[in-house]
Amino acid sequence: MILFKILGLCLIFAVCVLGGFYLSLKLKQRCKALHEICLATGEIAHRISLCEERGLILKKVFEGKSLQVSEDENYNVYVSCSALKKEDISLLNEFFLHLGTGDTLSQISLCETYKKLFERAYDSAMGEEQSKGQMYKTCGCLLAVALIIFII
């Protein structure tokens, strides 16, 4: 009977601690994805200046990254990344909606504008990761200890 109680307490502790570390990891993944997007917008601007085709640019730039970008036959771009927030994805969709709709110089300036927006989002995510990342880990451990004390 005591063995089951000890196993239950260990399970509660493990779940709470892992939950805190999982939330912290999600923040780190969002920072990584936003950093990849910042780098990708610069590369897109470079490839546009070389007059490459839009679909080829998207395939080459986002290949092998945590962000999955695909384009259908109607030139609609679909973005999927579990680490990004809805506002990040909507900003990306807005960027892809305007990409390829003007001349080369306007597209390059569009890339530079969105790169600045993504850099701001990245800086915000880094600040959030630094402040909330440690808090999630600590709260997970404290919650686990509190539950164990309450159950005992």
Question: 78: buried, middle or exposed (CB in 10 Å: 19+, 13-18, 0-12)?
Answer: exposed
In a domain, 115, yes or no: yes
In a domain, 6, yes or no: no
Q: Residue 126: what pLDDT? A: 93
Question: What is the per-residue pLDDT across 11-69, written as a single tens digit (0 to 9) for each?
Answer: 888 888 888 889 889 999 999 989 988 888 888 888 887 777 777 777 777 777 777 77
Q: Residue 1: what pLDDT? A: 75
Average pLDDT rounded to a whole number, residues 70-90: 77
Question: What is the per-residue pLDDT across 116-141, written as a single tens digit (0 to 9) for each?
Answer: 999 999 999 999 898 888 888 888 88
Question: What's the structural domain count of the chain?
Answer: 1
In a domain, 58, yes or no: yes
Q: What range defines the domain where residue 99 resides?
A: 11-151
In a domain, 15, yes or no: yes
Q: Residue 96: what pLDDT? A: 82
In a domain, 2, yes or no: no
Residues 75 and 54: beta-carbon distance below 8 Å: yes
In a domain, 3, yes or no: no
In a domain, 45, yes or no: yes
Q: Residue 122: what pLDDT? A: 93
In a domain, 128, yes or no: yes
Q: Residue 121: what pLDDT? A: 92
pTM for this entry = 0.80
Rounded to the nearest integer, the mean pLDDT of the chain is 83
